[in-house]
Each structure stands twice: as structure tokens, then as C-alpha cells.
A = this chain, B = another copy of it.
Amino acid sequence: MAKLKGNAVVGQSGGPTCVINQSLVGVITECRKHPEITGLFGAVEGVKGILNENFYDLMKEKPASLEAVAATPGAALRSVRKKPTAEECQKMFEIFKKYGVRYFFYIGGNDSAETANIVNQMAARENYELRVFHVPKTIDNDLLVTDHCPGYGSAAKFVAAAIAGDGLDNESLQGIKIDIIMGRHAGCRPAAARLARTEPDTAPHLIYVPERPFIMKNFLADVDRVYKKLGRCLIAVSEGIADANGDPVYKSKEVDAHGNVQLSGTGALGDFLAAEIRANLGEKLRVRADTFGYLQRSFPGFASEVDAKEARQVGIHAVKHACKNNSDGSISIIRKPGKKYAVEYVLTPLASVAKHTKSLPDEFINAEGNDITDAFVRYALPLVGKMPVVKRLAGKMLKKRS
């Protein structure tokens, strides 16, 4: 069969990550190896760029500087939080025809996979030959089929390192520290805090994810127990925690011990939990709260090497499948059996990753719902790769003199 000749469009969608440009550069470098791809257009701001016909001419990028672009956080093509309507998908398809586009690579999460699927179905209905690939990306690690998502390993590494360092800070000055970790629905990012615990008494001492109801009474008892034992307690909390009714914890009036109206805000949950601890366990306790924001997905020079490599590979494999196998789909990362971490990149249908997402598996959460299990550590540690070494003094006490 003759190779499908034409132009390719690549775009980036949704929240950026530290390695989303690795996937982009994977697509660019691989496209250049296939002469049937005659032009390579970068959609500026994802589907918005396609609809507005704003494209970078990526064939004009100097190959020498692409490695630096790949290592740069953020979406080099800029991104968009937009799920196009059916009409917009139709318009995108018309623009593809106008620009002689025969290949479309869309880097993003489940919504992007759905967009890609809709455009692909339109092309099939009109018998317009188009190869459409979704290239997976999300720090929430919530895509179906794949073992894990490019972007997650680096976000998890940042969270684990941040908790390790903050735990040492808390150990220095003692007291109670609350770290709120962004990620509204899936607990996989807050769970990564668990990777910081290298000894039984190092931080984090408690972890709460949105997959379990947050019961204030139990939380306070947990904190009290740890604090009484160690003189300190570091708690990792998902911003998405909700009570047994599914209501966000800091909006729940019944647990407000102060009669204050809690304003929503970037620090509201952490401040609220800190106030509850002081009100119930002692007003004089040293309690602090931080909220980890956008740094989790954008901090430069700290990506997981494994994550960076895999993000590049999913981009490369998408182009290879499109060109060599004449197929559409999404690239999933499948972990090979065996003790040593190894993966393969597998083609999966667009529909299999579109729309739906997955939660943190049950076996990764302990029975009490206040910690993350060793099974998660075995799963996640290879994705994070090399962590900074931290070490305490041996700390043998000198005998007191009388």
C-alpha cells in the first residue's frame, strides 16, 4: 500500500507538565524521519489554534535547540482548556482538508483523546484518509489502559521531594504541618507523598486522598496519636477530600468549631484543618499549613528521568504507528512482568482512553484510609527514579553530667 502523503498537525492540550514538551519533540523528530509527512504544523493553543488557523511551522525549528525545548516545562505550543463542540470538530476537519493535513497528533488527557476520536470518526464517514493519534499526558495519572501517564512521574517526584524536605524542616522545629496537594479528584498525586517516607518515623505520617471519606473526628485522633508519639506530625492532604456526604471538607459547617464563615481560597483547606487542630488538640500547638500549587507541574530542572524518557517515546511511537502501521489510536505504556522495571509502548484504540478516568486503586490505600500502602511504593517508585539523598545524624546522646 502506498504511504499516505500529507501534512501533520500536532497540538498540546490541558494542564502542562514538566515533560509534555518531550512528547512534542518526540513527535517532531520522528515526523522528520518520514518523507510522506511533507509539512509539520504546531497548533498554537491546541484546538483553538486549529480553529483559528494559527500554526507554527515546525519544520523551521532548528534540530539543535529541540533538546532544550524538550527539557523545558510548560507547553511549548501553548495549551488550552477547551473541549470542542461537534460543530467545532467539523470545522477542524474542514481546516485539516484545506491545509492538506493527513496526520493529527494530540497530546493531552482523556478529553483530548475524545476530541481526537470525534475528528477521526468524521474523517472515516467522509472517506477522508486521516491518521489520528492521542499522545497521553496528565499529572493526575488517571487515564485508562496505560499503566501510568507521562507527566505523573515528574509531578510525583516533586511532591515526594517537597514532602521529604518539608518533613526535615518540621523535624527541625517540631509541631504539626499540613501540606495540601492539588489534584481534585484522583489521589495519585497526594499518594506520591508516601515515597518520601524512607524510615518509619519520617514524613509524611498521615495521608488523606479523595477516594475515602474524610472524617474529622478520625483525622484529629490520628494527628493526636502521631504528635504524642513523635512530637511532630506531617500530614499530606488532597485538596479534593470530601466528607461522607461528598461535600468538600472546608465548606462543611458541622465541623467548623469557630463559627467563622470559611472563605474558599487557595489556602482555605489547609488553614481550616490547622484551625481545627488548634481548637481540638491545643491552641498553643505549632501548626502550619502550605498548599502546593502549580510548581508540581512546572518546576524546572527536576523532572523524573524515566518520565522524560517515556514521554518522548509515546510521541515517537504515535508517529511510528501512524506512518508504518497505517493505524489510529493512543499509545499506552504497559509494564513488563519481572522484578526490573521495564515497559513497552502499545497501541490502544482512541475510544478506550476517551472520556473516562480511573481512581487510585483500592490496594494502594490502607484500611483506615489515612495512609498509602507499600504496594503503591512498588508501583510508583520506578516512575519517579532517583530521589535526592537525605540523611540524619546518628545522634547518640551525651550522658548528662551531675
Q: CB within 8 Å of B: which residues of A?
A: 12, 15-16, 18, 41-42, 44-45, 53-58, 60-62, 65, 68-69, 71-81, 98-99, 161-162, 164-166, 168-169, 171-174, 177, 260, 262-263, 265-268, 270-271, 288-295, 297-302, 387-398, 400-401
Contacts and interface: CB of A to CB of B under 8 A. Distances in A.
Nearest to A67: B391
| Copies of this chain in the oligomer | 2
A299 B161 contact: yes
Given A56-B393, A56-B396, 7 more contacts: A42-B395, A74-B168, A165-B298, A165-B299, A165-B300, A266-B267, A290-B294
Label chain A's interface by main secondary structure. loop
Given A265-B268, A393-B42, A290 B293 contact: yes
A293 B289 CA distance: 8
B78 A172 contact: yes
17 contacts: A56-B396, A57-B396, A57-B398, A62-B394, A71-B390, A72-B389, A74-B169, A75-B173, A76-B393, A98-B401, A99-B401, A161-B299, A165-B295, A165-B298, A267-B268, A288-B293, A301-B388
A66 to B, nearest CB: 9
B392 A69 contact: yes
Chain B CB count within 10 A is highest, among A61, A177, A266, A289, for: A266
